Amino acid sequence: MGIKRLNHAVLYVSDVAGSAAFYRDVLGFRPKGDAASPHAVFAQAADSDNDHDLALFRRNLGQQRSGPFSPSGETPGPHQPAAGLYHLAWEVDTIAELRRIRDELAELGKLGKLGMEEDHGIHKSVYGHDPDGLLFEVCWFVPEALLEARDREPGDGRLDWERELARGA
């Protein structure tokens, strides 16, 4: 067990609409959801079955951060670049593997601080930093057969390990 594949890339960009148009027109990425958002666009590659393969977040320098992962109007934190790559997301096959990686990151002191474990509904994530401080995400997507109605609605973002491990996969 281990990393299955690169799930998605998240980029900070100065012009979300312009970047979304580029990735759409040149590389065939299909915007998902509210494609008109000036703050963020999530896009799927032409032949992908991923929820999203690319996310574009606007970065406005000089404004205060509104949260650890707020995509709009934030000043970079100590481990966040001003522009460019925000993070890569590696996918694993099971919630047990995600927990194992989470525990290993914690033991190594590489698990991020508050907010670095999140329940995104259809996927559950742990965030960490590599030795150079670059942010990465490791995620597990709930198999379709195990999805519940609450997985498709916004929650409080807190990852309930006991619930997820009991659901298994």
47 exposure class (CB count in 10 Å sphere: 0-12, 13-18, 19+): exposed
CA torsion sign, 87 to 161 to 98 to 43?
A: negative
The span from the CA of 110 to the CA of 22, in Å, is 35
CA angle 79, 83, 85 (to 5 degrees): 70
Per-residue pLDDT band at 71 (split at 50, 70, 90): very low
The span from the CA of 15 to the CA of 56, in Å, is 9
H helix or E strand, kind and range, residue 22: helix 16-27
The reported pLDDT for the residue numbered 35 is 58
Lowest mean pLDDT among 59-63, 95-99, 135-139, 140-144: 59-63
The reported pLDDT for the residue numbered 131 is 67
Mean pLDDT in residue range 7-12: 88
**pLDDT tens figures, 89-122:** 888 889 999 999 899 888 888 887 555 899 988 9
